A and B are shown apart, each in its own frame.
Chain A
Amino acid sequence: MQPELLTWLIPLPPVLAFALIVLFLNRSNRLSHTLAVGAMTLSWALAMVVFWRAITTADLGLHPIAASINWLPAGREALRFGVLIDPLSAVTLFFVAWTCLAIFVYSIGYHNFGKPRDPEDRPGLPPHAGGIEPMYARFFAFISLFAFGMLTLVVSDNLLLLFMGWEIMGLCSYLLIGFWYGKESAKKAMIKAFITTRVGDVFMLLGIAWLYSYTGSLNFREILYNPELLQSLHTPAFPELAARIPALYPMLSSVSVAGAIGLLLFMGTVGKSAQWPLHVWLPDAMEGPTPVSAMIHAATMVSAGVYLAARFFPLLTVGWHEGDPLTTAMKVVAFIGAFTALFAATIALTQNDIKRVLAYSTISQLGYMVAAVGIGAYAAAVFHLVTHAFFKALLFLGSGSVIHGMEHGVAASSTHAADAMPGQEGPAGVRKTHEHVDAQNMSNMGGLRRKMPVTFWTFLIGGFALSGFPLITAGFWSKDEILADAFGNGHLAVFLALALAALLTAFYTMRQITLTFLGQPRTQAAEHAHESVWTMTAPLVVLAVFAVAAGWAGIPEHFPGLGGLVPNWFQDFVVGALPEHPETLAFNPIPLLTSVVVALGGLFLGWLVYRRVRAGAEDPLKKPLGLLYTVWERKYGFDELYSWAFVRPAYWFAGTFVYRWLDRGVVDGILHGVARIALRLGSALRNYFDVPVINGTADRVGQGIKRAGQEFRVLQSGRVQQYLIVGLVFAGILLSYILVVKP
């Protein structure tokens, strides 16, 4: 079959599954998950066929798999929708399809399919004793829609369709983060995630509008593969504004139209990929079920942000060539990326929630990719996007498996409630019969490697990939490439920030592994934890394979020893998506040594510091770091800052201004005034017109008739003979009239 046709079909199965589950199948859990997983498998198979066709096509960048139709005729032109598989979307499609499928299968086990439903479980709250999720079918409907959004986004050939997929995912992330809507924290998190990403999306929409008004098109190929068009965008964006404000002249005049549009679109990335300053929603998104976290943090939403940044790389870098100093727009992007990478890594050091650590690590790793885009290391950014998707999905699903095992442990140990550990109190109100142990807090774990071997080994692989364990793991190759690019092109500040972030990454990853899996169990719950079912562990194993093997596709050619054993296929393939291909960098030992040292050093230090943490003991870093630890633990106070700067003013605006003044005062005032006038008019009409005239006339007519009837009714005596006499009289009168008067 035509690969174009297959590409059209890729997003369809999940959306059909969504519709069928929502409309017809939601009563049956088995049918729902069979349909959802079946649809995703179909999409996966289509995606693999298309991917295979893509990588076997010579010069895919020049001759991409593309097709489009007229979708919305508008005036002389028509808005065209279509599909496009170029090297960038091909590799994205590859990892999206794999991770989505793994997550779908994993969800079956995670939501305890096959277990009876606990009568105490309520829809909207997580099941607490290993019963099946009360809203099982609904979950599969939502993730199917989510997968549809992502696949649409990936295969789209224009910015508008991409934006639609983007927003569908935004909706689904809202629905899924708040999947357990009975929890207050989940409700807040869903609103936070939705509104925060909306901020970025508004800027992105502005960028789309600006781009369209300048170029008259939203098609990727027409804009990004058109050097003349791109050159024409290389004009100052704000000449008048720059001339009017001399203080900002150097900064404003250096922003080209392309750079400004690129930055606006990049704001969409900042929101979706949780970059500083819009990073706050992502850690809170951990309130959703774990497969959701993996969907949002690995396979779909956050990747979509970086995908967009990579997609608009040619626009962002207009007027820049390999080796030139960075343009202003690129500097902004590189700064935000590098800053976020370091910033989130420091917060991750101090978090105790197993999923929150991963959330901050995701923010940090996304910062890597964004920084790579910012310094022009396109291939490295995309490479890290792919490898990160695999190992982060692995880590999230692994952490879900850990939480799942811990929850079983909590349920099992509740029978030994008497010897529950003191001083550990989970969120209140989950189950009052015993002291609750927070199944997500790493200080309650420990020693899980013996209880959950598959989870341990796969988590270890994922964690090492995240830390960039040298030579073996995928994360090493992709991270090394970014560092090498930053160093080789002389972006020393970015290089240092990223290297430091890499050190912290290795440290907190090892901290997490040590606290969770090594040592001795610190609670009864950890003692009673056990391995998860095969539907959960099988996806872990598959993803673990990719977390290692995905790196082999991109080993630099000039790497000593290993380089050249496998061709650096990835780089050659992916840069095909760009109109002009950058040079490959010469090998430099400094960044390589740096990344090896920080990875191994961080891992070792993490193990050293955390290997002997006792139950109930405080974090060993707390004392030496002092105030800094508190600042990190409180996440630099961004939540409080935003609450003070935006949320509370918004509440004030809504409560005092809009509600009390505008709504109660002005709108209600007008309404009440109109109502009062109408009331007066109505009562006047009633008193002076309706009652005397209309009612009076009607009453008088009625009364008159009634009275007349009373007067005349005596005539009707009911006596036949009287009637007859009257008849006789009248007959006599008539007769005499006829006989006497008439002739």
Chain B
Amino acid sequence: MYDGETVRAPYLDLAGWVSDMPPDLLDLKRAEADALFRRIGITFAVYGEGGDPERLIPFDIFPRVFTAHEWRRLERGVKQRAQALNAFLRDVYGRAEIVRAGRIPAERIFQNAAYEPAVVGIQPPRGIYSHIVGVDIVRTGPTDFFVLEDNCRTPSGVSYMLENREIMMRMFPDLFQRNRVEPVDDYPNQLRRTLMSVAPESCKGGPTVVLLTPGSLNSAYYEHSFLADQMGVELVEGQDLFVDGDHVYMRTTMGPKRVDVIYRRIDDDFLDPLCFRPDSMLGVPGLLNVYRAGNVAIASAPGAGVADDKAIYTYVPEMIRFYLGEEPVLANVPTWQCGNPDDLAYVLGNLSDLVVKEVHGSGGYGMLVGPAATREEVEAYARRIRANPSEFIAQPTLSLSTTPTYVESGLAPRHVDLRPYCLVGERIHLCAGGLTRVALREGSLVVNSSQGGGVKDTWVLAD
């Protein structure tokens, strides 16, 4: 928000709102927001972070704002990425033209653990693999956006986007009268339409959609039940579904009911013990056979994870050029693959200026933030990289933009990122908003909730 020393235009009104509000009222409002979250019982953990499933994430009452003009560019960029990622998945599970064309090395795909041989040659309904694409974006200047990573499997956090807005509207209705903010509450409805639009062709009449959860002990269970409820679909566990003949059914009080679309929030590995991990108790035996025979849609499609792998990320701009014939609207963060000897040498020589991540890590754990690390930490990390170079990637530290955030001492700039949610079905739709995560510690670049991160409401102003 800070443009040098001045506040950028979209925030002017909000800054006035805060400066006009007596500090004790602001404190009161903040406490009220916390109480509301507790009463609703919303608890949340970003995908893969683990930890206490009933933990509460700190909520910052100061919203993040995008102008309509800024958002249009982001929207173009995110949709472009979502289309390219789906085209890539269609291709690599088909003839893999991008490999034949020499644009991506074969081993990056075929030897990737997320590439599923079991679904090669299988066309999912409408050719869509990733139906919900969450793109993590940071901003480094007024017009500079970078994509940190793509989430093609089951990006979580959307319940926070919806609840944050609910709470803001309830606490500060006057703000929404003074600013024309694009609504986000249509998301569950759009998600349901997206899922219904990918029902298999053999499905007659209105498709039955279910949300498949690993169960109430999962860290994102709240989100699963929230979304199922908002969409008006059943929240099922593996034990509620079974395969008989050509179809998958759910057990209901009226007997078996055929299921046409499964929005799954469990990993490929656990979907079907007859195809993936034989010891999985969470999945549905035979489900992958029904899927491969074209009698049920699974969102995201099994195998979609190969598109959001950190080792594939580097090639997304190439995919956009190859499949869409366009230049990428949103840039990638320059990334060094330590598995590549030249890159490794550069990374080891410049560790104190770089951010290094594990290829398969998530949640901000196990990463090195060079500029903030001690010499000992840097050296210890260098040893880990040398032991297993291909497990690491490195990126430059970006001068991330900040937004005003309400902390102990009042309003202060804190670093943020953004995850908008793009739905891909019969139509492609980007929800005008998203999840803004904020690094609450001063100077920190890590926004993960497990590492002292919080969340904010995200506004897209109408024209």
Binding partners A and B: no
